[in-house]
Amino acid sequence: MQDDVPGGTLSSAKTLKRGDDGVATADTMLERSSPGVWHGGTSEPSTVDPTPSFDGGDRYVSRRLLGQGGMGEVTLSGDQWLGRDVAVKTMRGEPRGDDRARFLREACIQGQLEHPSVVPVYDLSPPSVASPFFTMKRVQGYTLREVLDRLRAGSASMAQAFPRGRLLAALSQASLAIAFAHARGVIHRDLKPDNIMLGEFGEVYVLDWGVAKTSAVDDVAPDSRRPLDTPAQGTVPTAQGSLVGTPGYMSPEQARGEGHAVTARSDVYSMGAILFEVLSLEPLHKVAPLPSMLLATLSLQEGRPAARAQDKDIPPELDDLTARATALDPEARLGSMRDLADAITAHLDGERDVERRRELAGVHLEAVQRALAIAVGGGPDADKSRAEGLRELGRALALDPSQRAVEMLGRAILETPEELPPAAEAELKEVELRDRAKSARRAVLVYALWGSLALFVLLLGVKSWAWTIMTDVFVLAVVAHTWWMARSGNTGPKHMRWNMILNFTIVGMLSSFVGPLFIVPQIAVVTAASFMVGVRANYRTRALLTGLAIASFSVPLLLEWLGFVPRSYAFEDGVIKILPRITAFPPVYTEIALLVVAITSAQITTFMVGRSAAAMVEAERKNLAQAYRLRQLLPADVGR
């Protein structure tokens, strides 16, 4: 039987079995091109034929059944006039008034929503046709339901073809299509993964506008109000009774049957439920008997996919977005579908920026590895390569503070280098010079303390004014030289060596007081230790100080042995006699003088050496505290 249409006829749809490549959906025109996943290219290569037939025969020739629902069936047909394939939706059974009105209303709504993500309507049968039909663009691809089912099953090929970013972009595009419909007074009321289709070349379509609500025309009430049957597995079909929508995706106001309360935010809830499933690969409301699903819809306080699927690494902003979109109270819900689309797009833009930053950081990290490999190998360019590697590491961290970059930073910071770079060595030298200047200022005070001992020489009685005056001259010389170094900052090795020689010359001259083997070695050790700590003596300087300390008492002793100066000791009957050349040894004053020398030596030791030791301990504590804080910033396994 044929129905007359303007300019041609529509062949009656034949009863065909669906092959493996057909996907049946309720009241839609979907055809999947192949059972596999696309890897580029067209699904059904064909060429354009610009010479269609106008022989007056049937315009639409039915080829095979694509799907069928409660009100109609969709067939793949050929448009003989334009030489293209179209999807023809024909009303099933004997049309009744209300059913016919609903069917034609769906065609008008879909036809007037001229948006890239709404399947365009090409043709509508005239009122005189017995079996109403309308033709649409034939679209191919996968429904979001198929994609999610295969992702849940662990399909690697589907995961490669549809990564999360692509699915989110598709939801954003579908949300804009619904926002377009809302702007024209149309509410979809049955958004679900089955009604979102993903094409091979980035197309996204929102399907099935059969239960859409418009602000201008009230719904045509169906004649029958049969209860919903919930299948044990799979999705729950669209309600055509007292509830309009699909349980599990319908909003709470739809679940309560409050048709007057259904607004654009009802679609926001449904899209939020889809977003929840895309992120977690779990439905917001698990498939269950209808009363349980409706109760879950009415009672779920907050839909947060991150709490349900903690292993999916769901970004916090998308977790919050889903919760806002699926709020029970429409007033607390996200304001519009455009807001939802904009939020998803903003996240994707941020992810693209993050991905680009990661790529650039990877380039810098490769440069770090090359530079540090050269530095570890040593050679003349080792320090330069290490510095360049650290600069590259800083750039990588600025772009992407990832685990890999942080670990490399930890190794670079916490590993102790065998040698200081030249720049660091020069900086250390500057610090040493400043510390030497401080030590010189403290030494002036010490010399003043020693100078006070000259008063005891007068109390003991001077035996040789020549030795006394010469000793005082050397003391004044070393005080003047030390004061000059402290004021001018000229504390380099040359000046420090001269200062050491002057100091140990004075120490040696003290042998004229009690001889070279008493008190003098003690004072020589104190002086050498003070210099070693104060000037941060290296190996050569320590060797020089040791030699000067030994010379301060061995040279005077040698001069005595050679007869150049009088002997300081006499040995008679097992008794050692000290023969002073500068002073006499009155009993009381001599003991007091020796006590003062001992106390002064102890004070100088604690003052000079103790102060330097305390400074080193403080520096070590600061270094350890800094290292501890750095470790807190780094992963637990770095630097352990």
Q: What does the pLDDT look like over 116-171, one tens digit per residue?
A: 999 999 999 888 788 899 999 998 899 999 999 999 999 999 999 999 999 999 99
Predicted TM-score (pTM) of the model is 0.56
Residue 45 lies in a domain: no
Please report whether residue 639 resides in a domain.
no
269 and 187 in one domain?
yes
Cα 246 to Cα 235: distance, rounded to the nearest angstrom: 9
Q: Are 330 and 251 in contact (CB under 8 A)?
A: yes
List C-alpha distances in Å: 429 to 228, 376, 537, 581. Answer: 87, 25, 12, 44
Distances (CA, A) of 531 to 474, 480, 504, 528, 611: 18, 17, 11, 5, 13
- 189, 123: one domain: no
Q: How many domains does the chain have?
A: 4
Please write the tens of the pLDDT for every residue from 450-495: 666 666 666 677 777 777 777 778 777 877 877 787 777 777 778 7
Q: Give the pLDDT confidence score for residue 37 in this predicted structure.
A: 44
Assigned domain for 631 exists: no
Q: Are 367 and 264 within one domain?
A: no
Indicate whether 451 and 597 sit together in one domain: yes
Do residue 291 and residue 378 come from a single domain?
A: no
Residues 86 and 158 both lie in one domain: no
Domain residues for 469?
422-626
Burial of 556 (0-12, 13-18, 19+ CB in 10 A): buried
Q: Does one domain contain both 276 and 369?
A: no
The domain boundary residue, chosen from 112, 138, 164: 138
SS3 200: coil
Residue 2 in domain: no
Q: How far apart are the first and last CA of the chain?
A: 84
Together in a domain, 251 and 288: yes
Of 104, 138, 172, the one marking the end of a domain is 138
Task: Count Cβ atoms within 10 A of the Cβ of residue 281 and give its class: 0-12 exposed, 13-18 middle, 19 or more buried.
Answer: middle
| Residue 102 shares a structural domain with residue 207 | no
Domain membership of residue 156 (yes or no) is yes
> Taking the CA atoms of the chain, what radius of gyration do you get in angstroms?
48
Task: For residue 574, tell me if it sits in a domain.
Answer: yes
Q: Does 229 fall in a domain?
A: no
632 CB-contact burial (10 Å; exposed 0-12 / middle 13-18 / buried 19+)? exposed
CA distance 303 to 341: 18
160 shares its domain with 301: yes
The Cα–Cα gap between 568 and 495 comes to: 33
Residue at which a domain ends, from 414, 445, 466:
414
Q: Which amino acid is at 396?
A: A
Digit-coded pLDDT (tens) for 179-201:
999 999 999 999 999 999 998 88
Higher pLDDT, 172 or 523: 172
113 versus 434: which is more confidently predicted?
A: 113
Q: How far apart are CA 192 and CA 267, in angstroms?
A: 10
Phi, psi at 43, each rounded to 5°:
-75, -45
Cβ pair 277, 318 in contact under 8 A: no
- Residue-wise pLDDT for 60-86, tens only, equals 899 999 888 767 889 999 988 888 999
What CATH number is given to the structural domain containing 185? 1.10.510.10
Q: Residue 106: which CATH number?
A: 3.30.200.20
Highest mean pLDDT among 448-457, 556-565, 620-629: 556-565
Distance CA 436, CA 431 (A): 9
Same domain, 320 and 366: no
Contact between 241 and 225 (Cβ < 8 Å) = yes
Residue 172 lies in a domain: yes
| 613, 467: one domain | yes
